[in-house]
Amino acid sequence: MTKLEPDQSTRQVARVYDIKDCGPRNRFVANGKLVHNSGGDRLNWQNLGRKGKIRDAIEAPDGEEICVGDSSNIEARVLDWLAMQEDAVQVYRNYDAGVGPDVYCVLAGRIYGREISKSKDPAERQMGKTAKLGLGYGMGHAKFATAARTQVGRVVPIDEALAITNTYRSAHPAVVRLWDRATDALKYLAAGREGFAVDPRGVIVTCAGGLRLPNGMAIKYPDLQKDRDGWSYFNGRTRERIYGAKTVEHCIQALARIIVMDQSIEINRYLPVVMSVHDEAVTLAAADDARDATEYMLEEMRKPPVWGADIPLNSEGGHNKSYGRAKS
């Protein structure tokens, strides 16, 4: 991949990486950062640093700007909503209305036993974010200690990691119940029972060979079996372990993707969606219209789906000639 200067007569070509240099599992280092490919020759932009040169190299054509809309903590919001963890759902609503801290500060406050400020306590908030996003899918305390070291840059002793894990679970009893309910769903799925609601809202139900999503698609678990080590299914290459909290992760990621995709389809009616990165939609607009186009995108990304009319969605974004600077 190369970065080209706009002036073709004095073009400078800088080698960034070469696909054939990829190591195991399509991993390689670009600009000092470990990067994963989405496939044999496709770069996963999600794994590039927000301020990296590769993102900056993506620019809009002359006279246009790149507009970016990003769904704010959509997985955490959908998880708490699906589980009916109503106090957490209210935290999102309060924050969106400008009358309370964000959900990561709230959880960090429980962890540290004091009020946490987004601006004054960035490291503590990052710990709360790591806990919120990781522990919601049943992560154990040992793995959380590793996540804290890599994502927060802090060594957390095992006993402290256990305390943080217990803090999350005691603060999210409805989420823990959702894990148990998903475990029951695996039992019913293996027995061929259709129509069992995975969640208390009845959004996802068991169907033939999998879990039916609200858009009619399904999460499939081929050849689901239970042995002495628990549940497993055939993923096309080998048998993969599955359990309640992991099933919940699959469900939440699928629902989040449905939401973002449906929003992107609606946005694409008026603006060309040229790229998607995780929970982002990326469009192009005339430079003079970029502000209005971005506002339109953000409003569309705040609209909940018909099957979850009270999900507290929010979005943030921006626009710029460069993709890397559109949200800065």
- Could you tell me if 282 and 323 are in contact, meaning their C-beta atoms sit under 8 angstroms apart? yes
Domain 64-72+255-320: top CATH class:
alpha beta
For residue 78 the two structure tokens come to 């959908």
Give ranges for CATH 3.30.70.370 in the chain. Answer: 64-72+255-320
Residue 15's nearest CA partner among 72, 53, 63 is 53
Task: Please write the tens of the pLDDT for every residue from 125-163.
Answer: 999 999 999 999 999 999 999 999 988 888 999 999 999
Give 3-state DSSP helix, strand, coil % of the chain, rounded to 5.
Answer: 45, 20, 35
DSSP class of 37: B
pLDDT, the chain, mean: 87
What CA–CA distances, in Å, run from 23 to 15, 37, 49?
18, 10, 20
For residue 158 the two structure tokens come to 């095992």
pTM for the model:
0.85
Q: Is the pLDDT of residue 214 over 90?
A: yes
Task: Please write the tens of the pLDDT for every residue from 99-111.
Answer: 999 999 999 999 9
Report the chain's terminal Cα–Cα distance, integer Å: 24
From 35-44, 49-58, 224-233, the region with the lowest mean pLDDT: 35-44
